[in-house]
């Protein structure tokens, strides 16, 4: 059976400073995770998959549709700064995190819509590992775990953890491997 592996990017300097969005560099721990990731994939892949795939150079694709939820004017701010500079928005997001759209940015609902073609691609794909941002992974995870998308903003997708999803006829099997870094 084919699987879909999900991983957040390694810890970034914005993760450390509590800033959202942005295009920050990866931290030293994030770098250590990047180095551990091939081993985690190997550990969680079955023998037959590995034997079959051993002559393949993994093909790497970049999909624009996997970009992080756009936090618009709040990009690069901490939650405390957002609460101070955009108190109305902060409250609105708290009241309805799924539908709240950042000023000049996106909502989770927007992200779910832009992910539709990606999800269709994943439904057809062979084994694949997706490395991207938390908000995006929450929506992909919710889809495969059959959780209503309205709950995706609260799905737990921790850093430095490889998630393996194996879709079956009526449910999806989930395994998690945490990197010891
Ligand atoms: O790391 C930031 C997340 O991707 C978005 O977090 O939607 O819970 O504010 P949030």
Report pLDDT digits (tens) over 160-180: 999 999 999 899 999 999 999
Q: Which pLDDT score is estimated for 51?
A: 77
Distance CA 20, CA 160 (A): 18
Look over the chain and give the mean of its residue pLDDT values, rounded to a whole number. 93
Look up the pTM and report it.
0.93
148 within 8 A of 138, measured Cβ to Cβ:
no
Residue 99 a catalytic site member: no
User: Which residues line ligand 1 at a C-beta cut-off of 6 Å?
Assistant: 20, 133-135, 153
Ligand 1 atom index nearest CA of 135: 4
Residue 176 a catalytic site member: no
Listed in sequence order, the residues at least 6 apart from 98 whose beta carbon sits closer than 8 Å to its beta carbon are 107, 108, 109, 149, 150, 152, 153
Residue 15 a catalytic site member: yes
């Amino acid at each position: 059976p084919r699987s879909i592996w999900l991983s957040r990017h390694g810890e970034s300097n914005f993760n450390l400073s509590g800033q959202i969005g942005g295009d920050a560099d990866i931290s030293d721990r994030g770098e250590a995770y990047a180095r551990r990731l091939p081993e985690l994939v190997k550990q969680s892949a079955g023998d037959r998959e590995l034997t079959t795939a051993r002559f393949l150079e993994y093909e790497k694709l970049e999909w624009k549709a996997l970009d992080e939820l756009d936090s618009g004017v709040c990009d690069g701010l901490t939650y405390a700064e957002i609460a101070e500079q955009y108190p109305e928005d902060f409250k609105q997001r708290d009241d309805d995190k799924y539908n709240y759209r950042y000023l000049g940015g996106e909502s989770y609902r927007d992200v779910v819509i832009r992910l539709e073609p990606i999800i269709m691609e994943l439904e057809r794909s062979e084994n694949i590992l997706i490395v991207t941002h938390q908000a995006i992974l929450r929506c992909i995870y919710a889809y495969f775990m059959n959780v209503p998308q309205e709950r995706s903003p609260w799905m737990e997708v921790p850093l430095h953890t490889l998630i393996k999803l194996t879709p079956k006829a009526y449910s999806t099997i989930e395994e998690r491997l945490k990197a010891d870094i």
